[in-house]
Amino acid sequence: MNTATTRTVKRSCPTCEACCGLILEVDDAAQKIVSIHGDPDDPRSQGYVCAKSQAFKYIHDDPERLRTPVRKTPSGDWEPISWDDAFAEIAKQLNTIRAESGKDAIALYVGNPTGHIVSCQLYLQGLMQSLGTERFFSAGTVDQHPQQMGSFVLYGEEWKFPIPDTDRTDYFIIMGANPMVSQGSLMSAPDIESRLKAIRQRGGKVVVIDPRFTETAEQADQHIYIRPGTDAYMLMAFVNEMFTKELITPGHLDGLIDGIDDLRAAVQDYTPESTAKLTGIAPEVLRQLVTEYCAAATGAAYGRIGLCTQEYGTLASWLVDVISLLAGKLDVPGGMMFPRPATSAPGPGTADTTEHWGRWASRVRGFPETCGELPANLMAEEITAPGKDRVRALITICGNPVLSVPNGKEIRQAMKTLDFMVALDIYINETSSQADIILPSTTQAEQSNYDLTFTGTSGRNFVNYTPQLFEPENDLRTMGESLCAITAGLNGISSEDMDNFMFEGTLDRVVKQSAAIGRELDADAIRAEYAEQPGWERIIDLMLRNGPYGDGFDSTDEQGLSLARLRTLGGNVDLGPLQSQLPEQLKTEGQRIRLMHPLITGEFARLAEAFSQNLASPQSSSSDHDMLLIGRRHIRDMNSWLHNIKQYVRGKDRCTMIIHRNDAERIGLSDGGLALLKSTVGEARVPVEISNDIMPGVVSIPHGFGHIYSDSRQSLANDQAPGISCNDLIDHEALDTASGTSVVNGAKVQVYAA
**Burial tier of 590 (Cβ tally within 10 Å: 0-12, 13-18, 19+):** exposed
pLDDT average, residue stretch 570-583: 94
Least confident of 2-6, 35-39, 136-140, 511-515: 2-6
pLDDT of residue 620: 59
Model pLDDT for residues 193-204, shown as the tens digit of each residue? 999 999 999 999
Residue pair 334/171 in contact by the 8 Å Cβ criterion: no
pLDDT of residue 474: 81
Model pLDDT for residues 431-480, shown as the tens digit of each residue? 999 999 999 999 999 999 999 999 999 999 999 999 999 999 889 999 99
Model pLDDT for residues 252-261, shown as the tens digit of each residue? 999 999 999 9
pLDDT of residue 639: 84
pLDDT of residue 621: 58
Q: Which helix (H) or strand (E) holds 88?
A: helix 83-101
DSSP 713-742: --HHHHHH-----GGGGS-TT-EETTTTEE
pLDDT of residue 615: 83
Residue pair 110/395 in contact by the 8 Å Cβ criterion: no
pLDDT of residue 355: 79
pLDDT of residue 585: 94
Model pLDDT for residues 534-553, shown as the tens digit of each residue? 899 999 999 999 999 999 99
How far apart are the C-alpha atoms of 177 and 667, rounded to whole Å? Answer: 29
Model pLDDT for residues 365-390, shown as the tens digit of each residue? 999 999 999 999 999 999 999 988 89
pLDDT of residue 4: 64
Within 13 Å of residue 627, how many CA atoms lie on the same side as its CB?
Answer: 31
| DSSP 8-state secondary structure symbol assigned to residue 375 | -
Q: How far is CA 459 from CA 162, 535, 575, in A?
A: 9, 30, 11
Model pLDDT for residues 244-293, shown as the tens digit of each residue? 999 999 999 999 999 999 999 999 999 999 999 999 999 999 999 999 99
Strands (DSSP E) along 321-468, which ranges? 336-337, 357-361, 368-370, 393-397, 420-424, 437-439, 449-450, 460-466
How far apart are the C-alpha atoms of 421 and 436, rounded to whole Å? Answer: 5
The class that CATH gives domain 62-133+357-444+475-557 is alpha beta
Share of the chain above pLDDT 90, in %: 88
pLDDT of residue 616: 80
Q: Which helix (H) or strand (E) holds 296?
A: none
Rounded to the nearest integer, the mean pLDDT of the chain is 94
How far apart are the C-alpha atoms of 448 and 686, rounded to whole Å? Answer: 41
pLDDT of residue 430: 97
pLDDT of 226 over the 90 cut: yes
Share of the chain above pLDDT 70, in %: 99
Helix (H, G, I), strand (E, B) or coil at 638: coil
pLDDT of residue 356: 81
Domain regions of the chain by residue span: 62-133+357-444+475-557, 149-339+582-604, 622-753
pLDDT of residue 619: 61
Q: CA torsion 629→630→633→637, rounded to 10°?
A: 40
pLDDT of 217 over the 90 cut: yes
> pLDDT band at 699, cuts 50/70/90?
very high
How far apart are the C-alpha atoms of 441 and 476, rounded to whole Å? Answer: 6
Global confidence as pTM? 0.95
How far apart are the C-alpha atoms of 162 and 147, rounded to whole Å? Answer: 10
- Estimate to the nearest angstrom the gap between the alpha carbon of 412 and the chain centroid: 23
Helix (H, G, I), strand (E, B) or coil at 553: coil
Closest to 209 in 3D by CA, of 230, 193, 240, 187? 230
Q: Which helix (H) or strand (E) holds 676?
A: strand 674-678
Q: Which residues contact 246 (CB under 8 A, 6 or more apart)?
A: none
Domains 149-339+582-604 and 622-753 share a fold: no
- Tell me if the domain spanning 622-753 has CATH number 2.40.40.20: yes
Q: What strand order describes the sheet that includes 21-27?
A: 6-12, 21-27, 32-38
pLDDT of 104 over the 60 cut: yes
Closest to 632 in 3D by CA, of 473, 482, 745, 538? 745
pLDDT of residue 353: 79
- Tell me if the domain spanning 149-339+582-604 has CATH number 3.40.50.11290: no
